[in-house]
């Protein structure tokens, strides 16, 4: 049976693009990206997705109605599209345990929500990980694809790849080296989802 996925993103959407392109290159995965949702009306990811043939919509957040209502709006869209997996691709909001509960896999005990984070977790969780790693003077950094849990970037790790920081690197060189790895490794998780290999791919539980 085909699995239906949704992407949640707040920004440029370069990872969303990599995921969309991978799905269309791999019909044998039998996956469909049903919808791209952004919490920001002006996020470039919305146009990017439409140009690639994937419906996209903004569900803007407002403090007048709060997190619960915002998440309910998103959940009802995801239900409409019969989404079984959610991929966060630069989504800048923390999902509540109520939201995550909708995607709980009862047999394998994880949430069917994945995220990409631009550091070698558990190092540098949270916002601005490239900046923090660079300013900390790391010689090696990396990118992590992980399952989402109730914490911040603390869920079980599925894929991780390192890259070097060179002495002559400016921040932009360092970040671009990482981004190129992001676009390569995030699509790999789609194959794991397609082949029901998530549980057996967890290689590290993160304890921060």
Which amino acids are annotated catalytic? 117
Interface residue with ligand GRF among 5, 7, 8, 14 (CB under 6 A) is: 14
- Closer residue to ligand GRF, CB minimum distance, 72 or 169: 169
User: What Rg, from alpha-carbon coordinates, does the chain have?
Assistant: 17
Phi–psi pair at 147, nearest 5 degrees: -75, 150
Binding to ligand GRF by residue 121, rule CB under 6 A?
no
Give me the residue whose beta carbon is nearest to ligand GRF.
90
Phi and psi for 138 in degrees, rounded to 5? Answer: -60, 145
Among 19, 83, 116, 194, binds ligand GRF (CB under 6 A): 116
The span of 64-72, 105-113, 116-124, 195-203 binding ligand GRF (CB under 6 A) equals 116-124
Is 13 one of the binding residues for ligand GRF (CB under 6 A)?
Answer: yes
125 binds ligand GRF (CB under 6 A): no
Q: Total binding residues for ligand GRF by CB under 6 A?
A: 13
Largest CA distance in the chain: 50
Alpha helices in 32-111 (DSSP H): 44-51, 66-80, 97-101
The CA distance from 6 to 14, in Å, is: 15
CA distances from 173 to 27, 130, 167, 177 (A): 34, 11, 11, 6
The DSSP call for residue 111 is E
Enter the tokens of residue 166.
Answer: 């060179």
Q: Looking up tokens 């469909």, which residue turns up?
A: 32
- Binding ligand GRF by CB under 6 A: which of 70, 117, 146, 165? 117
The single residue among 3, 5, 6, 15 that binds ligand GRF, judged by CB under 6 A, is 15
Using CB under 6 A as the binding rule, whether residue 90 contacts ligand GRF is answered as yes
Task: State the nearest-atom distance from the C-beta of 43 to ligand GRF, in Å.
Answer: 8
Give the other-Cβ count within 10 Å of 61's Cβ.
19
114 touching ligand GRF, by CB under 6 A: no
Residues from 163 through 182 that contact ligand GRF (CB under 6 A): 182
Positions that interact with ligand GRF (CB under 6 A): 9, 11-16, 89-90, 116-118, 182
């Amino acid at each position: 049976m085909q699995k239906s996925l949704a992407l949640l993103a707040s920004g440029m959407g370069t990872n969303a693009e990599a995921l969309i392109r991978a799905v269309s290159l791999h019909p044998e995965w039998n996956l469909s990206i049903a919808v791209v949702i952004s919490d920001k009306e002006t996020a470039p990811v919305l146009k990017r997705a439409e140009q690639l043939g994937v419906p996209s919509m903004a569900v803007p957040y407002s403090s007048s109605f709060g997190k619960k209502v915002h998440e309910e709006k998103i959940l009802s869209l995801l239900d409409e599209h019969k989404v079984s997996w959610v991929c966060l691709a630069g989504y800048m909001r923390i999902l509540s345990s109520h939201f995550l509960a909708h995607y709980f896999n009862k047999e394998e005990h994880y949430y069917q929500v994945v995220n990409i984070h631009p550091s070698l977790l558990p190092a540098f969780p949270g916002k601005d990980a490239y900046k923090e790693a660079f300013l900390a003077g790391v010689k090696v950094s990396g990118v992590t694809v992980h399952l989402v849990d109730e914490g911040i970037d603390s869920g079980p790790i599925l894929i991780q790849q390192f890259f070097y920081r060179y002495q002559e690197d400016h921040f932009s060189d360092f970040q671009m080296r990482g981004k190129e790895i992001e676009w390569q490794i995030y699509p790999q998780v789609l194959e794991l989802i397609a082949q029901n290999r998530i549980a057996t791919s967890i290689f590290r539980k993160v304890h921060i």
